[in-house]
Structure 1
Amino acid sequence: MQHFAELFIASVLLAGLYAAMAFGLGLIYGVLRIVNLAHGGVIMAGAYAGWWLYEMVGLDPYLSLIPVAAAAFLFGVVIYRLLVRRLPRGAAGGVQSLLLLFGVWLILRNIAYLLFTGNDQTLRTSYSTKALSLANASISVNRVAVFFIALAILLFLHLLLRKTYLGKAIRAVAQNPDSCTLVGIPIERIYALTFGIGTALAAAGGLLGATLFPFSPSFGSAELLKSFVVVVLGGLGSIAGTAIAALILAMVEIFSILIPGFPVYLTAAVGFVLLVLVLVLRPGGLFGQRVLG
């Protein structure tokens, strides 16, 4: 029972990181209907940005979330204005957006190789080795912090989408962009802001991941795949579903070690098996496709 409690706590805390990394991908798809393959590159860039601010400026990683997210927001808006909005809508635009954003990811990764080489980096602070005791289990302070920051991000998205004019406009554009044009909602501005917010969330997720794991220019590849699994499992466009799906994925991965003889190196593959099963049995995701619900 003690071992079960430890695994459950580990699953919940890991789910916070998965959700933080996936929120941006889900938001952009929910509104623009494109899969942002640059998401992985932005996750990596967020990790390096937080590391650089700590090593060179001495800014605490969690405090650096604000400038890193702000810079990523501006980067996302620029990428949308210069590149994404020029793509055609529909199926052709979807294919072109995949190629375009994959190219952005490759550019970001190669810039990181030029600036930081391919060696692993670690973001270690004075409290990185500190732990809390919960249910007789020792838990890293960083993991607890990441979990609560992920909850704060979820609350921020909920309030943004439900309580603000911008959020209501985002939801309206996601549901029916043609009608929004008739009532004077600036669709292109909403698209740009949404892409910027999604990019900021990706960078924040990458920085949070850097506080827990070593990272290199290839950081973000596995994280993009996990984010995709979470978004699809939760139902495309469902923010709450994304959070619940992150918990499901984390629990499946963590508890897979209880299977006798199960290789640890195959843990990451468990999530993709779950994804295939869901796509076959419930293509809309566990919670159905929603418009940023």
Structure 2
Amino acid sequence: MARLLDLAISAVLLAGLYATMAYGLGLIYGVLRVVNLAHGGVIMAGAYLGWVLHGWLGLDPYLSIPLVLVATFAFGAFLYRVLVRHLPRGAAGGPASLLLLFGVWLVLRNAAYLLFTGNDRAIRTAYSTHALPFLGTWVSVNRLAVLGIALVIPVALHGVLHRTYLGKAIRAVAQNADSCTLVGVDVERIYTVTFGIGTALAGLAGVLFATLFAFNPTFGAGELLKSFVVVVLGGLGSVVGTGVAALVLAVVEVFAILVLPAYLTSAVGFVMLVLVLVVRPGGLFGQRVLG
């Protein structure tokens, strides 16, 4: 029983991390219909940025989050304005966007190799080894902090999308960009902001990962694939669905260790992805316009 409780707690904590890294990917696709293959590279860059701010400037990793968000938002906005917005729209731009953003990912990876070498890095603080008692077990302070941040993100994202003019404009553009142009909405500005927000969420996920796990320039590939699993499983454009899908994936992966060797548990999520695409292509909550 204690073993099952430990696994359940681990699954919930892991789900928060999975949801955080998937929100940005889902947001960009939901509005721009662009599959952002640079997402994994930005997660890696966010991890290194948090590590630099902590190791070189002595800034606590959680206090560095606003700086990472600003920096990755600016990078995302720049990336859209300089490269992505020049791609063809519609189905014709699909292959072009995949190749372009995959190239950006390769540039980020090789830049990391040049700047930081291929050695593993990690963010270690005075409280990295601290744990708190919870339901008869011990939970890392860092994992609790990551879970807390992961719970705030969907609430904040939902509030922005449903309570602000910017959010309503983003949802309107996602539904029909041509009609928005007719009523005076600056569609290109909305696309720029959306790409920036999605990129900033990827950078945030990178910092959170770096507080828990070691990373190197190859970091981000597995995280990108799991982000795809979560976004497709939850339903494209569904904020709530993304959170639920992250929990489902984490629970399945964590409990799979009871019946499968550890090296096979990471494949469980991709089996789920195939099953969902065959049985329910719209995901658990169906495709929505950022609902």
Equivalent position of 1:221 in the other structure: 221
Deviations 1:89-137 (A, max 9, x none): 1112011000000000000000000000001001110000000111111
Question: Does residue 291 of the first structure (1) align with residue 283 of the second (2)?
Answer: no
In structure 2, C-alpha distance between the alignment counterparts of 1:47 and 1:197, rounded to whole Å: 17
Compute the TM-score of the two structures, normalised by the length of structure 2: 0.99
| SS of alignment partner, residue 75 of structure 1 | helix
In structure 2, C-alpha distance between the alignment counterparts of 1:110 and 1:280, rounded to whole Å: 36
In structure 2, C-alpha distance between the alignment counterparts of 1:95 and 1:151, rounded to whole Å: 35
Segments ≥4 residues shifted beyond 2 Å: none
How much does 1:153 deviate?
Answer: 1.1
How much does 1:6 deviate?
Answer: 1.1
The 5-angstrom pairing of residues 66-145 of structure 1 reads: 66-145=66-145
How much does 1:10 deviate?
Answer: 0.6
Deviations 1:115-171 (A, max 9, x none): 000010011100000001111111111011001101111111011101000000000
Equivalent position of 2:266 in the other structure: 268
Equivalent position of 2:22 in the other structure: 22
The 5-angstrom pairing of residues 147-162 of structure 1 reads: 147-162=147-162
Question: Does residue 167 of the first structure (1) align with residue 167 of the second (2)?
Answer: yes
Equivalent position of 1:61 in the other structure: 61
Deviations 1:215-265 (A, max 9, x none): 000010000000110000000111111011000000000000111xx2101
Structure 1 residues without counterparts, runs of 5 or longer: none
Q: Which stretch of structure 1 is more off in the superposition, 243-252 or 132-141?
A: 132-141
Question: Does residue 199 of the first structure (1) align with residue 199 of the second (2)?
Answer: yes
- Please tell me the residue identity of whatever aligns with 2:183: V
Deviations 1:147-199 (A, max 9, x none): 11011111110111010000000000001111101111100000000000000
- Please tell me the residue identity of whatever aligns with 2:282: G
Aligned length: 291
In structure 2, C-alpha distance between the alignment counterparts of 1:228 and 1:148, rounded to whole Å: 23
In structure 1, C-alpha distance between the alignment counterparts of 2:153 and 2:205, rounded to whole Å: 10
In structure 2, C-alpha distance between the alignment counterparts of 1:143 and 1:97, rounded to whole Å: 35
Question: Does residue 176 of the first structure (1) align with residue 176 of the second (2)?
Answer: yes
In structure 2, C-alpha distance between the alignment counterparts of 1:232 and 1:84, rounded to whole Å: 23
In structure 2, C-alpha distance between the alignment counterparts of 1:151 and 1:217, rounded to whole Å: 28
- Please tell me the residue identity of whatever aligns with 2:285: F
- Please tell me the residue identity of whatever aligns with 2:52: W
Structure 2 residues without counterparts, runs of 5 or longer: none
Identity of aligned residues (%): 70
In structure 1, C-alpha distance between the alignment counterparts of 2:20 and 2:262, rounded to whole Å: 24
Deviations 1:63-93 (A, max 9, x none): 1110011010011001000000000111120
| SS of alignment partner, residue 257 of structure 2 | helix
